[in-house]
Amino acid sequence: MPLKTTAGDHGAVARGRGATMNPEGRFEKGTREAFDDDWFPDGREGEAAKPGAVVAIERAKRVISRNDSPDLGFSLSVNPYRGCAHGCSYCYARPSHAYLGLSPGIDFETRLFAKPEAAQLLREELARPGYRCEPINIGSNTDGYQPIEREHRITRSVLEVLREASHPVTIVTKSALVERDLDLLAPMARDGLATVVVSVTTLDPRLSARMEPRASAPARRLEAIRRLAAAGVPVGVNVAPVIPFLTDHEIEAILAEAARAGA
C-alpha cells in the first residue's frame, strides 16, 4: 500500500539536508510542487523548517538481495535500512523511495525504514538447502552505519550472524561508526572473511558538509581507515562519485591520504 509522501511540503531549501527539494515519486499518478510566491502566511520572512527524520519498522520477508549486474563486484547484498539519513545529494539509491510512494528528495533522508528482523531472516536464508556462499555486501542501497544504526544496531546484529556462520562480508560506508564493530570485524578479518571500503568523495570539509551533510567528516573517515587497518581489517577507499570541476582534481590527493592511513 503506497505511503503518504511529504512531497511538496518543503518548498524552500532545508538547512542540513542533501536534497534541495521533495518532488513526487515517478510512479505517482498526480504531482504537486511548492513554489515561493514571495508571500508569507505570518507576514514574516523566515527559513524553512528543518524536517526531522522518522523511522518506521519494515517487516521484510527476506533480507538477501541478488543481482546479476556485470558492473558490480558482488551478487548478494543485505540492506538493514531503507533510505539514508546521511542525505548525500548525489545518492543513486534515492529513486528507490518512489517504489514506496515517497519522494526521492527529502523523504529519502527523513522517512527511514528499519528492518529489526534482518538478522533472524539472514540466519534462516543462510540455512536453506541449496544456498551458495558468496561474499555479502552491506551498503549497496543504504549505509548500514548511518546515524540511526547507533540506536537500532541492526547492522551489528547482521554481522554477528555472519561471524557465527563464518560467512564473508564486504562493507561500504561513509561513517566512522564502523569502528564500533571492530570486535567483530577484526577476528573475521583474521579468517579472511571481512573487508571494509570507506567512501571518500572530497577532502574539503565544507564541500563534504554541503554534499553529504550527515556523513562523517572526511578527516574522520580517514581516521576510521587508520583504525581499521591497525586492527588488521583489510580496508579500501571508494573515490566516488567523481564530480567534474568540483572534486575531480582531488582524486590523487584522496588516494594518497587513504594510502597513508592504511588503505
CATH class as words, domain 54-261: alpha beta
Each residue of 107-134: b (16+ CB within 10 Å) or e?
Answer: bbbbbbbbbebbbebbbeebeeeeeeee
Q: What is the pLDDT of residues 88-110, one digit of tens each?
A: 999 999 999 999 999 999 999 99
| Mean pLDDT value across residues 243-259 | 98
Dist CA 119 CA 151 (whole Å): 16
pTM of the model: 0.82
The closest alpha carbon to 170, from 143, 205, 197, 142, belongs to 197
pLDDT greater than 60 at residue 40: no
Dist CA 155 CA 84 (whole Å): 13
Dist CA 138 CA 65 (whole Å): 10
Are 10 and 22 within 8 A, CB to CB? yes
| pLDDT bracket for residue 236 (50, 70, 90) | very high
Q: What is the pLDDT of residues 136-187, one digit of tens each?
A: 999 899 999 999 999 999 999 999 999 999 999 999 999 999 999 999 999 9
**Domain locations in the chain as residue ranges:** 54-261
